[in-house]
Amino acid sequence: MVAQRMSLFSVSGTANARAAAKAAAASGKEIIDLSAGEIWAETPEAVRRGAVAAINRNLNRYTDTVGTEQLREAIAKKLSVDTGQLWRADEIAVTAGAKQALFNAALALLNPGDEVIIPAPYWTTFPAQVSIAGARPVFVDTRANGYVPRIEDIRAAISPSTRAIVVNTPNNPTGAILDRELLNGITELALEHDFWVIFDECYGNFVFEPGKHEHIAAVNPEARRRIVVVNSFSKSLTLTGWRLGYLAAPREVISAAKALQSHTTSNPNVVAQHAVLAYFEDGDRSFERGLRARLALNRTRGLAILSRLRNVPPPPAQGGFYFYLDLSGLVGGRSRDGAIATADDVANLLLREAGVASVPGSAFGDPTGMRLSYGIPVDLLERGLESLVDTLNGLS
Protein backbone atom coordinates (compact mmCIF):
# COMPACT_ATOMS: atom_id res chain seq x y z
CA MET A 1 0.00 0.00 0.00
CA VAL A 2 2.80 2.44 0.89
CA ALA A 3 6.02 3.17 -0.99
CA GLN A 4 8.85 0.63 -0.83
CA ARG A 5 11.19 3.15 0.83
CA MET A 6 9.04 2.98 3.96
CA SER A 7 10.38 -0.51 4.60
CA LEU A 8 13.87 0.93 5.05
CA PHE A 9 13.14 2.56 8.41
CA SER A 10 10.54 2.82 11.14
CA VAL A 11 9.38 5.40 13.66
CA SER A 12 12.29 6.77 15.69
CA GLY A 13 13.15 4.58 18.67
CA THR A 14 13.38 7.66 20.88
CA ALA A 15 9.86 8.68 19.81
CA ASN A 16 8.62 5.18 20.66
CA ALA A 17 10.22 5.43 24.11
CA ARG A 18 8.53 8.78 24.77
CA ALA A 19 5.20 7.32 23.65
CA ALA A 20 5.61 4.34 25.99
CA ALA A 21 6.33 6.69 28.89
CA LYS A 22 3.24 8.78 28.14
CA ALA A 23 1.07 5.70 27.83
CA ALA A 24 2.27 4.39 31.19
CA ALA A 25 1.65 7.76 32.82
CA ALA A 26 -1.82 7.95 31.25
CA SER A 27 -2.71 4.65 32.92
CA GLY A 28 -2.27 6.32 36.29
CA LYS A 29 1.23 5.10 37.12
CA GLU A 30 3.78 7.66 38.31
CA ILE A 31 6.55 7.73 35.70
CA ILE A 32 9.87 9.57 35.88
CA ASP A 33 10.72 10.16 32.24
CA LEU A 34 14.44 9.84 31.45
CA SER A 35 13.78 9.15 27.77
CA ALA A 36 13.37 12.62 26.27
CA GLY A 37 16.17 14.35 24.38
CA GLU A 38 15.40 17.75 25.84
CA ILE A 39 16.11 19.86 28.91
CA TRP A 40 13.38 20.98 31.26
CA ALA A 41 14.03 24.73 31.39
CA GLU A 42 12.30 28.03 30.73
CA THR A 43 12.85 29.78 27.42
CA PRO A 44 15.55 32.49 27.60
CA GLU A 45 14.08 35.91 28.30
CA ALA A 46 15.65 37.48 25.20
CA VAL A 47 14.10 34.78 23.01
CA ARG A 48 10.67 35.37 24.52
CA ARG A 49 10.96 39.12 24.03
CA GLY A 50 12.02 38.61 20.44
CA ALA A 51 9.07 36.31 19.74
CA VAL A 52 6.54 38.70 21.27
CA ALA A 53 8.03 41.65 19.40
CA ALA A 54 7.83 39.75 16.11
CA ILE A 55 4.17 38.94 16.72
CA ASN A 56 3.36 42.52 17.70
CA ARG A 57 5.09 43.80 14.55
CA ASN A 58 2.96 41.44 12.43
CA LEU A 59 6.02 39.63 11.08
CA ASN A 60 3.98 36.85 9.56
CA ARG A 61 5.13 36.81 5.93
CA TYR A 62 7.52 34.55 4.06
CA THR A 63 11.21 35.10 4.58
CA ASP A 64 13.96 33.88 2.28
CA THR A 65 13.68 30.10 1.90
CA VAL A 66 16.78 29.50 4.04
CA GLY A 67 16.10 32.21 6.62
CA THR A 68 16.50 35.94 6.97
CA GLU A 69 19.75 37.55 5.93
CA GLN A 70 20.18 38.97 9.45
CA LEU A 71 19.88 35.60 11.19
CA ARG A 72 22.20 33.90 8.71
CA GLU A 73 24.75 36.66 9.24
CA ALA A 74 24.50 36.20 13.02
CA ILE A 75 25.04 32.44 12.68
CA ALA A 76 27.97 33.03 10.30
CA LYS A 77 29.52 35.38 12.87
CA LYS A 78 29.13 32.75 15.59
CA LEU A 79 30.76 30.10 13.41
CA SER A 80 33.59 32.48 12.55
CA VAL A 81 34.32 32.91 16.25
CA ASP A 82 34.00 29.17 16.95
CA THR A 83 36.28 28.06 14.12
CA GLY A 84 38.69 30.95 13.61
CA GLN A 85 37.68 31.08 9.95
CA LEU A 86 35.47 33.50 8.05
CA TRP A 87 31.94 32.26 7.31
CA ARG A 88 29.42 34.22 5.25
CA ALA A 89 25.62 34.29 5.20
CA ASP A 90 25.48 32.51 1.84
CA GLU A 91 27.15 29.50 3.48
CA ILE A 92 24.26 29.15 5.96
CA ALA A 93 20.78 27.66 5.58
CA VAL A 94 18.36 28.07 8.48
CA THR A 95 16.16 24.99 8.80
CA ALA A 96 13.23 23.55 10.72
CA GLY A 97 15.49 21.96 13.30
CA ALA A 98 18.65 19.88 12.87
CA LYS A 99 16.66 17.02 11.34
CA GLN A 100 15.80 19.13 8.31
CA ALA A 101 19.42 20.26 8.04
CA LEU A 102 20.49 16.60 7.96
CA PHE A 103 17.73 15.72 5.51
CA ASN A 104 18.77 18.55 3.19
CA ALA A 105 22.39 17.41 3.38
CA ALA A 106 21.49 13.78 2.67
CA LEU A 107 19.38 14.56 -0.38
CA ALA A 108 21.78 17.20 -1.68
CA LEU A 109 24.91 15.05 -1.38
CA LEU A 110 23.98 11.37 -1.65
CA ASN A 111 23.19 9.28 -4.70
CA PRO A 112 21.62 5.81 -4.74
CA GLY A 113 24.35 3.27 -4.06
CA ASP A 114 26.59 5.64 -2.12
CA GLU A 115 27.85 4.58 1.30
CA VAL A 116 27.92 6.67 4.47
CA ILE A 117 30.07 5.69 7.44
CA ILE A 118 28.23 6.04 10.77
CA PRO A 119 29.90 5.25 14.11
CA ALA A 120 27.63 3.14 16.32
CA PRO A 121 25.87 3.60 18.69
CA TYR A 122 24.29 6.38 16.62
CA TRP A 123 21.40 8.78 16.77
CA THR A 124 18.53 6.89 15.17
CA THR A 125 17.86 9.53 12.48
CA PHE A 126 21.32 9.26 10.88
CA PRO A 127 20.87 5.89 9.13
CA ALA A 128 17.18 6.55 8.43
CA GLN A 129 17.92 9.67 6.40
CA VAL A 130 20.82 8.01 4.59
CA SER A 131 18.42 5.24 3.56
CA ILE A 132 15.76 7.74 2.47
CA ALA A 133 18.34 9.23 0.10
CA GLY A 134 18.92 5.78 -1.41
CA ALA A 135 22.39 5.40 0.08
CA ARG A 136 23.65 2.67 2.42
CA PRO A 137 24.77 3.20 6.03
CA VAL A 138 28.04 1.47 6.95
CA PHE A 139 28.41 1.13 10.71
CA VAL A 140 31.65 1.29 12.70
CA ASP A 141 31.25 -0.28 16.14
CA THR A 142 32.78 1.90 18.89
CA ARG A 143 31.74 -0.10 21.97
CA ALA A 144 35.14 -1.73 22.51
CA ASN A 145 36.85 1.67 22.61
CA GLY A 146 34.72 3.60 25.08
CA TYR A 147 32.24 4.60 22.33
CA VAL A 148 34.94 6.52 20.44
CA PRO A 149 35.68 5.33 16.87
CA ARG A 150 39.24 4.23 16.09
CA ILE A 151 40.77 5.83 13.02
CA GLU A 152 41.89 2.42 11.77
CA ASP A 153 38.29 1.14 11.94
CA ILE A 154 37.06 4.15 9.96
CA ARG A 155 39.79 3.58 7.40
CA ALA A 156 38.79 -0.07 7.08
CA ALA A 157 35.17 0.94 6.39
CA ILE A 158 36.09 3.16 3.42
CA SER A 159 35.28 1.79 -0.02
CA PRO A 160 35.10 3.24 -3.54
CA SER A 161 31.41 3.94 -2.80
CA THR A 162 32.08 6.01 0.36
CA ARG A 163 30.45 9.41 -0.06
CA ALA A 164 30.35 10.71 3.54
CA ILE A 165 30.95 10.08 7.20
CA VAL A 166 28.74 11.31 10.04
CA VAL A 167 30.72 12.78 12.94
CA ASN A 168 28.60 13.51 16.02
CA THR A 169 30.43 15.02 19.00
CA PRO A 170 29.45 15.13 21.81
CA ASN A 171 27.73 11.94 20.78
CA ASN A 172 24.05 11.21 21.11
CA PRO A 173 23.40 8.75 22.75
CA THR A 174 26.73 7.93 24.44
CA GLY A 175 28.02 11.35 25.52
CA ALA A 176 31.48 10.48 24.15
CA ILE A 177 33.70 13.28 22.81
CA LEU A 178 36.00 13.05 19.79
CA ASP A 179 39.34 14.72 20.44
CA ARG A 180 41.37 16.94 18.14
CA GLU A 181 43.71 14.18 16.96
CA LEU A 182 40.86 11.92 15.90
CA LEU A 183 38.97 14.73 14.17
CA ASN A 184 42.11 15.68 12.26
CA GLY A 185 42.57 12.05 11.21
CA ILE A 186 39.01 11.95 9.90
CA THR A 187 39.49 15.13 7.86
CA GLU A 188 42.69 13.74 6.36
CA LEU A 189 40.82 10.60 5.28
CA ALA A 190 38.06 12.77 3.80
CA LEU A 191 40.58 14.73 1.74
CA GLU A 192 42.49 11.62 0.70
CA HIS A 193 39.37 9.70 -0.39
CA ASP A 194 37.28 12.70 -1.44
CA PHE A 195 34.22 12.23 0.76
CA TRP A 196 32.10 14.59 2.87
CA VAL A 197 32.20 15.01 6.64
CA ILE A 198 28.76 15.70 8.11
CA PHE A 199 29.60 17.27 11.46
CA ASP A 200 26.72 17.27 13.97
CA GLU A 201 27.53 19.44 16.98
CA CYS A 202 24.05 19.87 18.42
CA TYR A 203 25.37 19.04 21.91
CA GLY A 204 28.53 21.15 21.61
CA ASN A 205 27.42 23.51 24.38
CA PHE A 206 27.44 20.71 26.93
CA VAL A 207 30.95 19.41 27.58
CA PHE A 208 32.29 18.76 31.07
CA GLU A 209 35.83 18.94 32.41
CA PRO A 210 38.36 17.78 31.50
CA GLY A 211 36.69 17.38 28.09
CA LYS A 212 36.70 20.05 25.39
CA HIS A 213 34.49 20.46 22.34
CA GLU A 214 36.63 20.74 19.22
CA HIS A 215 35.12 22.09 16.02
CA ILE A 216 36.23 20.01 13.06
CA ALA A 217 36.52 23.04 10.77
CA ALA A 218 39.00 24.60 13.20
CA VAL A 219 41.07 21.42 13.47
CA ASN A 220 41.90 21.28 9.75
CA PRO A 221 41.00 24.43 7.81
CA GLU A 222 42.07 22.77 4.55
CA ALA A 223 39.16 20.33 4.91
CA ARG A 224 36.57 23.11 5.08
CA ARG A 225 35.54 22.42 1.47
CA ARG A 226 34.49 18.87 2.46
CA ILE A 227 32.71 19.75 5.73
CA VAL A 228 29.00 20.19 6.32
CA VAL A 229 28.06 21.51 9.79
CA VAL A 230 24.70 20.74 11.40
CA ASN A 231 23.53 22.49 14.56
CA SER A 232 20.35 23.42 16.36
CA PHE A 233 19.01 25.84 18.94
CA SER A 234 16.87 23.07 20.44
CA LYS A 235 19.42 22.03 23.06
CA SER A 236 21.53 25.14 23.69
CA LEU A 237 18.47 27.42 24.10
CA THR A 238 15.97 24.69 25.15
CA LEU A 239 13.80 25.35 22.09
CA THR A 240 13.00 21.78 21.02
CA GLY A 241 9.41 22.63 20.10
CA TRP A 242 10.34 25.76 18.14
CA ARG A 243 12.11 23.73 15.42
CA LEU A 244 15.03 25.91 14.42
CA GLY A 245 18.46 24.74 13.32
CA TYR A 246 20.94 25.35 10.56
CA LEU A 247 23.23 23.88 7.94
CA ALA A 248 26.63 25.45 7.22
CA ALA A 249 28.50 24.29 4.12
CA PRO A 250 30.15 25.37 0.87
CA ARG A 251 27.93 27.65 -1.22
CA GLU A 252 27.05 24.99 -3.78
CA VAL A 253 25.71 22.72 -1.04
CA ILE A 254 23.67 25.57 0.45
CA SER A 255 22.27 26.40 -2.99
CA ALA A 256 21.17 22.78 -3.40
CA ALA A 257 19.66 22.76 0.10
CA LYS A 258 17.79 25.98 -0.70
CA ALA A 259 16.30 24.48 -3.85
CA LEU A 260 15.27 21.39 -1.92
CA GLN A 261 13.81 23.34 0.99
CA SER A 262 11.84 25.52 -1.41
CA HIS A 263 9.85 22.41 -2.33
CA THR A 264 9.47 20.99 1.19
CA THR A 265 8.90 23.40 4.08
CA SER A 266 9.96 26.67 2.46
CA ASN A 267 11.23 29.08 5.13
CA PRO A 268 11.48 28.02 8.78
CA ASN A 269 9.14 29.54 11.35
CA VAL A 270 9.40 33.31 11.04
CA VAL A 271 8.63 34.07 14.70
CA ALA A 272 11.28 31.60 15.85
CA GLN A 273 13.79 33.20 13.48
CA HIS A 274 13.23 36.67 14.91
CA ALA A 275 13.25 35.32 18.46
CA VAL A 276 16.66 33.67 18.05
CA LEU A 277 18.01 36.74 16.24
CA ALA A 278 16.95 38.81 19.26
CA TYR A 279 18.96 36.45 21.46
CA PHE A 280 22.05 36.94 19.31
CA GLU A 281 21.60 40.72 19.35
CA ASP A 282 21.07 40.79 23.12
CA GLY A 283 24.59 39.44 23.69
CA ASP A 284 23.90 38.12 27.20
CA ARG A 285 25.03 34.48 27.44
CA SER A 286 24.21 34.00 31.12
CA PHE A 287 21.35 31.65 30.21
CA GLU A 288 23.72 29.24 28.49
CA ARG A 289 26.21 29.40 31.37
CA GLY A 290 23.45 28.77 33.89
CA LEU A 291 22.11 25.84 31.88
CA ARG A 292 25.56 24.21 31.73
CA ALA A 293 26.02 24.70 35.48
CA ARG A 294 22.66 23.10 36.18
CA LEU A 295 23.42 20.14 33.96
CA ALA A 296 26.85 19.77 35.55
CA LEU A 297 25.16 19.46 38.95
CA ASN A 298 22.68 16.89 37.63
CA ARG A 299 25.53 14.95 36.07
CA THR A 300 27.51 14.88 39.32
CA ARG A 301 24.50 13.79 41.38
CA GLY A 302 23.50 11.19 38.82
CA LEU A 303 26.95 9.66 38.49
CA ALA A 304 27.17 9.32 42.27
CA ILE A 305 23.94 7.30 42.32
CA LEU A 306 24.83 5.19 39.29
CA SER A 307 28.19 4.30 40.88
CA ARG A 308 26.22 1.93 43.12
CA LEU A 309 25.24 -0.28 40.17
CA ARG A 310 26.88 -3.65 40.68
CA ASN A 311 27.02 -5.10 37.17
CA VAL A 312 27.05 -1.93 35.05
CA PRO A 313 30.21 0.16 34.50
CA PRO A 314 30.14 3.94 34.99
CA PRO A 315 28.80 5.74 31.88
CA PRO A 316 31.11 8.10 29.91
CA ALA A 317 28.88 11.20 30.26
CA GLN A 318 31.63 13.46 28.88
CA GLY A 319 29.20 15.64 26.95
CA GLY A 320 25.55 16.13 26.12
CA PHE A 321 23.08 15.37 28.91
CA TYR A 322 22.79 11.58 28.80
CA PHE A 323 24.02 8.68 30.87
CA TYR A 324 24.62 5.77 28.50
CA LEU A 325 24.69 2.44 30.30
CA ASP A 326 26.42 -0.72 29.10
CA LEU A 327 23.99 -3.44 30.20
CA SER A 328 25.91 -6.39 28.74
CA GLY A 329 26.63 -7.56 32.30
CA LEU A 330 22.88 -7.94 32.89
CA VAL A 331 21.98 -9.67 29.63
CA GLY A 332 21.51 -13.36 30.34
CA GLY A 333 20.23 -12.68 33.85
CA ARG A 334 16.68 -12.98 35.07
CA SER A 335 13.93 -10.85 36.53
CA ARG A 336 10.80 -12.08 38.26
CA ASP A 337 9.11 -12.19 34.87
CA GLY A 338 11.74 -14.19 33.02
CA ALA A 339 15.05 -13.94 31.18
CA ILE A 340 16.79 -10.69 30.27
CA ALA A 341 17.81 -11.07 26.61
CA THR A 342 18.34 -7.45 25.51
CA ALA A 343 18.25 -3.88 26.76
CA ASP A 344 14.63 -3.72 25.57
CA ASP A 345 13.77 -6.23 28.30
CA VAL A 346 15.54 -4.02 30.84
CA ALA A 347 13.69 -0.92 29.61
CA ASN A 348 10.34 -2.67 29.91
CA LEU A 349 11.26 -3.88 33.40
CA LEU A 350 12.24 -0.38 34.53
CA LEU A 351 9.03 1.12 33.18
CA ARG A 352 6.93 -1.56 34.83
CA GLU A 353 8.67 -1.96 38.21
CA ALA A 354 10.72 1.18 38.79
CA GLY A 355 8.44 3.71 37.11
CA VAL A 356 11.37 4.94 35.02
CA ALA A 357 11.24 5.54 31.26
CA SER A 358 14.45 5.06 29.28
CA VAL A 359 15.54 4.48 25.68
CA PRO A 360 16.96 1.00 25.00
CA GLY A 361 20.07 0.84 22.88
CA SER A 362 18.25 -1.00 20.09
CA ALA A 363 17.16 2.48 18.96
CA PHE A 364 20.84 3.30 18.46
CA GLY A 365 22.10 0.04 16.94
CA ASP A 366 23.22 -1.39 20.28
CA PRO A 367 21.18 -4.25 21.83
CA THR A 368 22.92 -3.95 25.21
CA GLY A 369 22.93 -0.17 25.75
CA MET A 370 20.53 2.24 27.42
CA ARG A 371 20.18 6.03 27.28
CA LEU A 372 19.02 8.04 30.28
CA SER A 373 18.50 11.81 30.09
CA TYR A 374 19.57 13.94 33.02
CA GLY A 375 17.98 17.12 31.68
CA ILE A 376 15.09 16.92 34.15
CA PRO A 377 14.81 18.60 37.59
CA VAL A 378 17.44 17.20 39.93
CA ASP A 379 14.95 15.93 42.54
CA LEU A 380 13.13 13.84 39.93
CA LEU A 381 16.44 12.66 38.51
CA GLU A 382 17.65 11.45 41.88
CA ARG A 383 14.39 9.64 42.60
CA GLY A 384 14.37 8.00 39.19
CA LEU A 385 17.99 6.86 39.34
CA GLU A 386 17.63 5.56 42.91
CA SER A 387 14.70 3.44 41.78
CA LEU A 388 16.59 2.29 38.69
CA VAL A 389 19.64 1.23 40.73
CA ASP A 390 17.52 -0.68 43.24
CA THR A 391 15.68 -2.50 40.44
CA LEU A 392 18.77 -3.43 38.43
CA ASN A 393 20.76 -4.48 41.48
CA GLY A 394 17.87 -6.82 42.32
CA LEU A 395 18.30 -8.82 39.11
CA SER A 396 19.75 -12.30 39.46
pLDDT at 16: 72
Inter-residue contact 147 to 121 (CB < 8 Å): yes
**41 burial type by CB count under 10 A (0-12 exposed, 13-18 middle, 19+ buried):** middle
Contacts of 362 (CB under 8 A, 6+ apart): 13, 342, 343, 344
Average pLDDT over residues 303-313: 96
Phi, psi of 115 (to 5 degrees): -120, 145
Average pLDDT value for the chain = 94
pLDDT in tens, 40-87: 999 999 999 999 999 999 999 999 999 999 999 999 999 999 999 999
Inter-residue contact 186 to 197 (CB < 8 Å): yes
Inter-residue contact 305 to 382 (CB < 8 Å): yes
Reply yes or no: is the peptide bond before residue 360 cis, omega within 30 of 0: no
Confidence of residue 294 (pLDDT cuts 50, 70, 90): very high
pLDDT at 13: 66
Reply yes or no: is the peptide bond before residue 170 cis, omega within 30 of 0: yes
pLDDT at 50: 98
pLDDT at 241: 94
Average pLDDT over residues 269-297: 96
Q: How far is CA 7 from CA 11, 121, 304, 371, in A?
A: 11, 21, 42, 26
Residues pairing with 37 in the sheet: none
- The pTM (predicted TM-score) of the whole model is 0.94
CA atoms within 13 A on the CB side of 278: 18
Average pLDDT over residues 234-238: 96
CA atoms within 13 A on the CB side of 249: 30
pLDDT at 180: 97
Q: What is the spatial distance between Cα 349 and Cα 338, in angstroms, rounded to a whole number?
A: 10
Percent of the chain with pLDDT over 90: 88
pLDDT in tens, 326-339: 999 998 777 777 78
Which residue segments constitute the domains of the chain, with CATH numbers given? Answer: 4-42+287-393 (3.90.1150.10), 45-282 (3.40.640.10)
Percent of the chain with pLDDT over 70: 96
